[in-house]
């Protein structure tokens, strides 16, 4: 399950896909997230340098996830569009370390070296008139109605073996606090996005 920081900065007119990152870009962003986390946990003053490789483009937001083996230890992201990935990754790294689901057992400085970091770079979420058109494992979803909202990253459907309908229903109940069939309601907004996800385990 994932936690998210939602923004009202939706831009449904933007359909440009997320720019492809090079392996060097990915490595540097993972190193940047780890160094940011280390300094936060050590309470060290700012001073580390952001990635040196130029990353051009506009991105739909990002998530940073901490894993202990297969166990989640923190995951927070933002859907706010950004052209400064380094700043966005630093901010969601900070937020992920403070994931409210782990308030009683937060990540510690001693634990960090044993954790793996994963980053997901997102496309802009797009409203869909046909939620069942989503492709499990390819699309992530946001479900919104009234003041309630919830999201799942694309990999959740693959990990759980969910169909499109199960993905939507579980997002409603588990993340948005809505009835399981709320996604079928015309008053409910369903948005789709994709993610470029990569982790430290990809670069052993």
Q: What is the pLDDT of residues 103-117, one digit of tens each?
A: 999 999 999 999 999
Same domain, 119 and 146: no
Task: State residue 56's pLDDT score.
Answer: 73
Same domain, 71 and 32: yes
Task: State residue 50's pLDDT score.
Answer: 73
The answer on pLDDT for 95 being more than 90 is: yes
Q: Is residue 9 part of a domain?
A: no
More confident residue, 6 or 163: 163
Q: Is residue 179 part of a domain?
A: yes
Q: Provide the 8-state DSSP code for 45.
A: P
Same domain, 132 and 148: yes
The domain that holds 161 is classified in CATH as: 3.30.1490.150
Same domain, 80 and 151: no
Same domain, 33 and 73: yes
Q: Is residue 12 part of a domain?
A: no
Q: Is residue 11 part of a domain?
A: no
3-state SS, 77-113, equals EECCCECCHHHHHHHHHHHHHCCHHHCCCCCCCCCHH
Same domain, 74 and 160: no
Task: State residue 51's pLDDT score.
Answer: 75
Q: Is residue 16 part of a domain?
A: no
The answer on pLDDT for 129 being more than 50 is: yes
The answer on pLDDT for 6 being more than 60 is: no
Name the 3-class secondary structure at 56.
coil
The domain that holds 49 is classified in CATH as: 3.30.700.20
The answer on pLDDT for 94 being more than 50 is: yes
Same domain, 77 and 106: yes
Summarised one tens digit per residue, pLDDT across range 32-67 is 999 999 999 999 876 666 776 667 788 999 999 999
The answer on pLDDT for 17 being more than 60 is: no
91 alpha-carbon distance from chain centroid = 12
Task: State residue 119's pLDDT score.
Answer: 97
Least confident of 10-19, 152-161, 192-201: 10-19
Same domain, 49 and 109: yes
Task: State residue 16's pLDDT score.
Answer: 44
| pLDDT mean over 183-204 | 95
Any idea which residue has 């802009």 for tokens?
124
Q: How many domains does the chain have?
A: 2
Same domain, 103 and 139: no
Residue 139: pLDDT band with limits 50, 70, 90: very high
Same domain, 112 and 146: no
Same domain, 104 and 135: no
Expressed as residue numbers, the domain containing 72 is: 23-123+197-203
More confident residue, 1 or 146: 146
The answer on pLDDT for 2 being more than 50 is: no
Same domain, 117 and 153: no
| Mean confidence (pLDDT) of the chain | 89
Q: Is residue 74 part of a domain?
A: yes
Detail the DSSP E strand segments found in 79-139.
116-122, 126-127
């Amino acid at each position: 399950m994932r936690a998210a920081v939602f923004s009202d900065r939706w831009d449904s007119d933007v359909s440009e896909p997320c720019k492809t990152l090079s392996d060097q870009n990915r490595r540097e962003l993972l190193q940047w997230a780890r160094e940011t986390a280390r300094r936060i946990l050590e309470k060290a003053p700012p001073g580390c340098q952001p990635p040196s490789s130029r990353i051009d483009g506009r991105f739909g937001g990002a998530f940073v996830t901490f894993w202990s083996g297969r166990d989640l230890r923190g995951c927070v992201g933002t859907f706010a569009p950004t052209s400064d990935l380094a700043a966005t990754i630093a901010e969601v790294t900070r937020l992920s370390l403070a994931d409210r689901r782990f308030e009683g057992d937060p990540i510690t400085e001693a634990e960090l070296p044993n954790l793996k970091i994963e980053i997901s770079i997102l496309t802009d979420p797009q409203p869909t008139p046909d939620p069942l058109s989503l492709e499990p494992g390819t699309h992530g979803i946001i479900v919104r109605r009234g003041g309630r909202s919830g999201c799942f990253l694309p990999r959740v459907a693959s990990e759980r073996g969910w169909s499109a309908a199960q993905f939507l229903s579980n997002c409603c109940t588990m993340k948005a606090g809505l009835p399981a069939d709320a996604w079928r309601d015309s008053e409910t907004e369903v948005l789709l996005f994709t993610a470029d996800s990569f982790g430290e385990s990809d670069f052993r």
